[in-house]
Amino acid sequence: MHPAGHARPCPPRPTLRRTCAAYDGGPQVRSTGAQRRR
């Protein structure tokens, strides 16, 4: 779980777009591995 302020802007790349959704607290967090990146 990342705070709203910690969320990074979504880059124009579709692959990184999923990471943004994960930061938002989406179910794809596990797929993107955003939790591991922290």
| Per-residue pLDDT reduced to its tens digit, 1-38 | 555 555 666 555 555 555 555 555 555 545 555 555 55
Whole-angstrom distance, CA of residue 17 vs CA of residue 2 = 16
Residues 6+ apart with CB under 8 A from 16: 10
**pLDDT for the residue 3:** 57
Beta strands in the chain (DSSP E): none
Tokens of 9: 């802007």
**pLDDT for the residue 20:** 52
**pLDDT for the residue 33:** 55
